[in-house]
């Protein structure tokens, strides 16, 4: 298929390259043009603007930072992208209301809209193992399912537009919460002079252990937050999306408020582009 890919960041770049490897024709656009180099080397056409990328496409994928950026890139640029007759697939983590507003705007421009957020990071993209869950019309989902299956083996339909966005936010607030909880436990163990290996041995035998703790433990121990797979600023965005969803649904999210304060403190320390493992730095600042 002829595809426009908007956003070749940490996730968007390897995702666009999977479409190329699957034999699709892909035009890529990114605000920072240099970040399209790997996709171009893999056979993509570098587009000069979103409108240029979209011009020849049957399907438009957006994997941008957030809802406001996605709306601006798709709807508020000159020259205006022509969305008529095209399917727009929004894959970033954005709010329920933002996704529904995008769907309405795309329909006004004569296009169709599917939200398809993903669970999993760069390693899962490279392995084709992302968990892909969509929100939108069943017929559109069925038509796009083969494309979504390029990213993960079993794309699912969660419900109408907004439901998959909400589901993704439900997952990410949990990731933020368990990560912050682990960082505090590790900080307590280390500052109290307890053997970290002993702590981990017991944790591994408990019902509370998760693979995600193991993945970030070396970063916490070395205070190494370089080469992010998921930047701290985006975790903060997702925590804020979680607070918004909780408020919309009348839930008490005071537990998440503390996580927001930690993520915001890390961002204030200049760690916005660091891996979200830098939450540990907010919990247990080096040298303090």
Ligand X SMILES: NC(=O)c1ccc[n+]([C@@H]2O[C@H](COP(=O)([O-])OP(=O)(O)OC[C@H]3O[C@@H](n4cnc5c(N)ncnc54)[C@H](OP(=O)(O)O)[C@@H]3O)[C@@H](O)[C@H]2O)c1
Site residues for ligand X per CB under 6 A? 7-12, 30-32, 35, 63-66, 69, 73, 92-93, 118, 121, 229-231, 234, 238
User: Cα 191 to chain center, whole Å?
Assistant: 33
CA dist., res. 54 & res. 82, Å (int): 7
Strand bridging mode 45-46 / 25-29: parallel
CA dist., res. 274 & res. 103, Å (int): 32
Confirm if 183 and 220 have CB atoms less than 8 A apart: yes
Least CB distance to ligand X at residue 121 (A)? 3
112 vs 238 by CB, closer to ligand X = 238
CA dist., res. 109 & res. 273, Å (int): 35
10 vs 167 by CB, closer to ligand X = 10
Least CB distance to ligand X at residue 234 (A)? 4
Least CB distance to ligand X at residue 32 (A)? 3
74 vs 147 by CB, closer to ligand X = 74
CA dist., res. 228 & res. 107, Å (int): 36
65 vs 203 by CB, closer to ligand X = 65
Closest residue by beta carbon to ligand X: 9
Confirm if 274 and 231 have CB atoms less than 8 A apart: yes
Q: Which helix (H) or strand (E) holds 2?
A: strand 2-6
Closest CA to 81 of 71, 96, 90, 91: 71
86 vs 168 by CB, closer to ligand X = 168
User: Cα 51 to chain center, whole Å?
Assistant: 23
98 vs 281 by CB, closer to ligand X = 98
232 vs 262 by CB, closer to ligand X = 232
CA dist., res. 168 & res. 46, Å (int): 30
Please list, residue by residue across 266-275, b when 16 or more beta carbons sit within 10 angstroms of its beta carbon and e when fewer do: bbeeebbebb
Least CB distance to ligand X at residue 273 (A)? 8
Least CB distance to ligand X at residue 276 (A)? 9
Least CB distance to ligand X at residue 287 (A)? 29
Least CB distance to ligand X at residue 67 (A)? 9
């Amino acid at each position: 298929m002829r595809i426009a890919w908007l956003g070749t960041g940490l996730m968007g770049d390897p995702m666009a390259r999977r479409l190329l490897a699957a034999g699709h024709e892909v035009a890529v656009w990114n605000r920072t043009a240099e970040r399209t180099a790997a996709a171009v080397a893999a056979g993509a056409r570098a587009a000069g603007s979103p409108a240029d990328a979209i011009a020849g496409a049957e399907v438009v994928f957006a994997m941008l930072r957030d809802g406001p950026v996605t709306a601006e890139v798709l709807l508020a640029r000159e020259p205006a992208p022509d969305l008529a007759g095209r399917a727009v697939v929004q894959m970033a983590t954005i709010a329920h209301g933002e996704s529904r507003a995008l769907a309405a705007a795309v329909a006004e421009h004569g296009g169709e809209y599917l939200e398809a957020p993903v669970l999993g990071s760069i390693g899962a993209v490279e392995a084709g193992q992302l968990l892909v869950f969509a929100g939108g019309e069943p017929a559109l989902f069925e038509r796009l399912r083969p494309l979504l299956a390029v990213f993960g083996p079993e794309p699912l339909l969660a419900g109408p537009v907004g439901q998959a966005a909400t589901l993704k936010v439900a997952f990410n607030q949990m990731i933020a919460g368990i990560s912050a909880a682990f960082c505090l436990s590790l900080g307590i163990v280390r500052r109290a002079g307890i053997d970290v290996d002993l702590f981990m041995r017991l944790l591994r035998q408990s019902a509370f252990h998760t693979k995600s703790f193991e993945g970030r433990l070396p970063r916490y121990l070395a205070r190494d937050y370089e080469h992010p797979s998921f930047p701290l600023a985006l975790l903060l965005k997702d925590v804020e999306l979680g607070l918004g969803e909780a408020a919309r649904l009348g839930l008490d999210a005071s537990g998440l408020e503390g996580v927001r304060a930690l993520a915001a403190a890390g961002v204030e320390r200049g760690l916005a582009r660091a891996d979200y493992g830098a939450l540990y730095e907010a919990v247990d600042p080096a040298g303090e």
